[in-house]
Amino acid sequence: MLRYLAFPNYELRKRSSPERSITNYELRKRSSPERSITNYELRITNYVSVALLKGALRITNYVSEALLKGALRITNYELRIT
């Protein structure tokens, strides 16, 4: 089961939930001396993982929110892990 997924300066962490649940993920920006805002939240409520070339991960129907800013809704987004 996926628990952590690292991005440059970001960390995708699964929140506490039932073991078989695939909802409630959180994307946090790691501490950075360059910026004052360090915490972001990524809520994934319904996603499809597709085996694509070079380990790409396709995520659909999710809401991304910055904790100190307005919410941004994005659909049909493709996240490529490089």
pLDDT tens digits along 17-35 = 444 444 445 555 454 444 4
pLDDT at 81: 52
Of 46, 40, 51, the residue nearest 76 (C-alpha): 46
Distance of alpha carbon 22 from alpha carbon 12, whole angstroms: 13
40 or 80, which is more confident: 80
* Domain, as residue range, for 26: 4-80
Counted domains in the chain: 1
